Chains A and B, each alone.
Chain A
Amino acid sequence: MSTPNAEKNLSRRRFLQIAAIASGGLTLAACAQPSPTPAAKAGTAPATAAPAAASAPTSGPVSGVAGATTGVKGGTLRLAIIGEPPSTDPHWTTANVTNSVTSHYCEPLFSLNSKLEMVPMLAEKLETSSDGLTRTVRLRKNVPFHNGEEMTADDVTASLTRWAKLSGIGKTMFELVEKMDAPDKYTVVFKMKKPYAVFETALGLRSQHAMIMPKKIVEAAGDKQLAEPIIGTGPYKFVEHIKDRHIRLARFEQYAARSEPTDGPSGKKNAYADEIRFLPTPDQSVRVAGVQSGDFDYAEGVNPDQYSLLKDNKQISTLISVPNKCPTHYINKKAPLMQDVKLRQAMLAALDMEAALKPAWGSPDFYVLSGACMPKEGPWYTNVGTEGYNQKNPDKAKQLLKESNYKGEPIRYLTNKEYPNMYQEAVVVNQALQGIGLNMKMEVVDWASVVARRAKPEEWEMFVTWNGYPTDPVLIDWMNPMYPGWWTGKIDELREQLLTTIDQKKRFAIFEDVQRLFYQEVPILKLGDVRDFHVTSTKLKDIYTYPCPMFWNAYLTK
């Protein structure tokens, strides 16, 4: 006989049945989250033609292909990048990962070639008046945006006006622009206040890039980030962005390619792949494992200490990018302690550069002992004035220290472990400087803290970073008096001369003076040149990696 209580009470068996049904229902409800446009299955379409013989070069002056490429059309490139870009708006941020992604759907007026020279991209040609004060940019005709509209001079002026408000280089350049006009549909005229030697370089610099986008869109956005999809003229168009998951680009079939053969980042862009997917993958080991397992076609930013393990691996190809960047240990010249030139010279004399580079970068495949301020592979390379590089002379260093005003004050030295190479370099440099009697205080913080603290001169004496190589030495970070480190004084005049002298031979001579002063005043400690290491599927060919990875000529073989 059942009692009222027994009928009210829930038996364990009944409870378990209800719980199972409820869990199933909750699961289905959770999975009924409206998901964005379904992600197509990752995979590569079969090649439609016999694979070309070209392969991703791993050596040579720059890593990439000069000349015509004959690739295989089709497939989806799955590219594991180091993380989610802070923005897909090319004017918004200097972050490398943004530069790399946006350069596939947007284009600037000028671009680098394989010899690190600036050449026209959306521009047809550049005319300069004899006094250097008038720059006339003739645009290419019939270049469509992804929305079907033709690119015109009004789009250029609107894009550059916005870029000048958001970008440091743009702001500097436009302080020298008296007037920017569009007298006709395909011409933009810049009246300069004084000659500006790096006109094309500034407009083609791959950092917070001066990309050209439709006037209506950039004017509507103003100082705010552009809304997606971002419209450009590039060989790929923006399809979808799911944050922290992927950025999908598809070939732009109406893309107006240049007729010249491919030459590094410039010339013809073939857009062989149907689709490119950038997959933010913050963990390096996951990126590498993904290529090995066939889930990714490319993994960027692999630690060089993996090279010896991976170079003979038949599942993958290795790629070393040349040239790339230089490790720079900045010295705070606003700090009274560090304004002592003898002290800085003592630091330089103490260092064995190879001893600092080897633990951080592994094999000599990844570092070059070069004291020159610009890379060997480009037109600005010179060894003039670099005698002070790599002295490895602790005795001389101690002597210089005695001649300085240093009295044992602590020297705060910021580094981080997020970029293990920076930390490893700092450990060796720190030890070398302690060895000559400096009271070094190495502070290991995360990268975001380094970036925050380095902007405050009262919070550090030294910090570690890398600097990329812009096309022109006047645009190197440490040449900027506003960049943490704050090098001013005799360099100001040389900087001004470098900026305003148009004649290239004269500019080169001025740069040699800069390099001499660099080793006399030691504004930073430059350790050498280093290279990035990437890993790709054996099927992926023709990637160009300088100044950032580019895939518009890359293709997948069978």
Chain B
Amino acid sequence: MTGQIVRRLLSLVPVLVVVGFVVFFLIHLAPGDPAAVMAGNEATTERIEQLRHEMGLDRPLWEQFVSWSTRALRGDLGTSFFLNQPVLTAIGERIEPTGLLTLYALIMSILIGFPAGIVAAVRRNSWIDRLTMVTALGGVCIPSFWLGILMILVLAVWARWLPAAGYAPFLDDPLQNFRYLVMPAFSLGLQQAALLARVVRSSMLEVMREDYVRTARAKGVAEGMVVLRHALPNAMIPALTIIGNSMGNLLGGAIVTEAVFNTPGVGRLVVQSVLRRDFPVIQGAVLVIAAVYVLVNLIVDIAYVIADPRIRLSTRS
């Protein structure tokens, strides 16, 4: 397995090279001038040209690419045009909000999805089962940004229970941090929770038909123990796959959620950087996100193999 892991890690290099190449040329070929954005609406052409020169944008494109990519190989992703700080610092300052948002969303999706799926499976074909599955269907279909806006209206504007927007760092005030993130996390995690509930339900139903479950019941084991100790652990394998895949979806969904709730995370940084044509940040952030995505998938695959020894990492990948 170690060899497989090393091979998967090495495969990160060509992925990042291709991503870097594509992102660089896509954004440079798209219309829009970062110098004009920096200089403002009333700037003269001279001032804009002055800034273009300072930013190195008047050099040939291939020269800019070579300069950027050789520095990127050394871990230097350049300096943000707009923020006037190293790209890695800019991303680093925003990792915490995005990381916590994704984590809270994942935890919420598990805390909601698993119990809902289990209850639906145990009460199969009852009104609880039908209600849960209809709600899950709704959860899958409802766009997270719409749900977010609705939650702001009800919980922040009308009820004033939670803040509408903003962020407090975790170490400064964990409770306030949670208050700022609970709505975004819920709106982001609900879709995954709904998906998880449906998968847990169907795999529970499959496992509950197994002989060993019948045996456990026949031996007089309490129904709760049958479900939780005997059926659930084996039903979790497909759910683990969903949880693993959902990391990528949550990271992507965080971009929209951060815009709706004004959370100062990596997602909002990427969106704002695109609008203000902050090339170094766009390039750097996309590389970092691609690397994180690959690494997270690898971790999930390893976890999957550990959870089910019948699976090999090569077949899993």
- How many whole Å from B156's CB to the nearest CB in chain A? 4
The distance in angstroms between the C-alpha atoms of A234 and B34, with both chains bound, is: 30
Task: Kindly state whether residue A54 has any CB partner on chain B within 8 Å.
Answer: no
- Cβ of A152 < 8 Å from any Cβ of B? no
B41–A95 CB distance below 8 A = yes
Q: Which of B33, B50, B157, B268 has the most CB of A within 10 A?
A: B157
- Nearest Cβ on chain A to B207's Cβ, whole angstroms: 14
A350 to chain B, nearest CB (A): 27
Is B211 interfacial (CB 8 A cutoff)?
Answer: no
| Complexed CA–CA distance, A98 and B30 (Å) | 26
Q: Are B40 and A19 in contact (CB under 8 A)?
A: no
B228 within 8 Å of A (CB atoms): no
Q: Residue B165 at the A interface, CB < 8 A? A: yes
Question: CB of B42 within 8 A of chain A?
Answer: yes
Could you list 16 examples of A-B contacts with CB < 8 Å?
A9-B309, A19-B303, A30-B96, A31-B100, A41-B168, A84-B272, A94-B43, A95-B40, A244-B269, A282-B262, A293-B152, A446-B275, A455-B48, A477-B42, A482-B46, A483-B44
Contact bitstring B29-71, A, C-beta under 8 A = 1, else 0: 0111110111111111111101000100000000000000000
Least CB distance, B39 to chain A, in whole angstroms: 6
Cβ contact within 8 Å between A244 and B31: no
What's the minimum C-beta distance from B260 to chain A, rounded to whole angstroms? 7
For residue A318, CB closer than 8 A to chain B, the reply is: no
Contact of B255 with A by CB under 8 A: no
B95 at the interface (CB under 8 A from A): yes
Bound CA span A542–B264, Å: 30
A451 CA to B41 CA, complexed, in Å: 7
Q: Please, which residues of chain B bring their CB within 8 A of the CB of A83? A: 272
Q: Hey, what's the 0/1 contact readout for A222-254 against B, CB within 8 Å counting as 1?
A: 010100000000000000001111000000000
Are B41 and A30 neighbours in the complex by a CB distance under 8 Å? no
Contact indicator A168/B46 (Cβ below 8 Å): yes
Q: Which residues 65-96 of B have a CB within 8 angstroms of A?
A: 82-85, 90, 92-96
B276 near A: Cβ within 8 Å?
A: yes
Within 8 A of B (CB), among A186-229: 207-208, 223, 225
Contacts A35-B172, A87-B38 hold; do A451 and B33 have CB atoms under 8 A apart? yes
Q: With contacts A9-B309, A41-B168, A452-B36 known, what are 14 further pairs, Cβ within 8 A?
A: A10-B306, A15-B306, A15-B307, A27-B99, A33-B95, A86-B276, A243-B93, A279-B262, A281-B165, A283-B259, A289-B157, A449-B31, A453-B31, A483-B44
Cα distance A171–B44 in the bound complex, in angstroms = 10
Q: Which residues of B does A touch, CB under 8 Å? A: 30-34, 36-48, 50, 54, 82-85, 90, 92-96, 99-100, 103, 149, 152-153, 156-157, 160, 163-173, 176, 233, 259-262, 264, 268-269, 272, 275-277, 303, 306-307, 309
Interfacial chain A residues near B90, Cβ < 8 Å: 243
Instruction: List the count of A-B residue pairs having beta carbons below 8 Å apart.
Output: 181
A39 at the interface (CB under 8 A from B): yes
Q: Shortest CB–CB separation between residue B87 and chain A, in angstroms?
A: 12
Query: Which residues on the A side are within 8 Å of B303 (C-beta)?
Result: 15, 19
Distance of A226 from chain B, by nearest CB (Å): 10
Q: Does A493 contact B (CB under 8 A)?
A: no
Q: Which of B31, B156, B171 contacts A31 (CB 8 A)?
A: B171
CB distance from A404 to the nearest CB of B (A): 29
A469 CB → nearest B CB, Å:
12
Complex Cα spacing A294 to B103, Å: 27
Check B92–A286 contact: CB distance below 8 A. Answer: no
B157 touches A12 (CB 8 A): no
What per-residue 1/0 map shows which CB atoms of A29-65 lie under 8 Å from chain B?
Answer: 0111101101101100000000000000000000000
Q: How far is the CA of A449 from the CA of B99 in the complex (A)?
A: 32
Q: Are A32 and B171 in contact (CB under 8 A)?
A: yes
Question: A residues within 8 A CB of B94?
Answer: 244
Q: CB-CB < 8 A to B309: which residues of A?
A: 9
Whether B307 and A285, one on each chain, are in contact in the complex, defined by CB atoms closer than 8 angstroms, is no
Nearest residue, chain A, Cβ from B159: A293
Cβ contact of A286, chosen from B41, B50, B165, B173, cutoff 8 A? B165
What are the interface flags for A425-462 relative to B under an 8 Å C-beta threshold, 1 for contact and 0 otherwise?
00000000000000000000111110111010000000
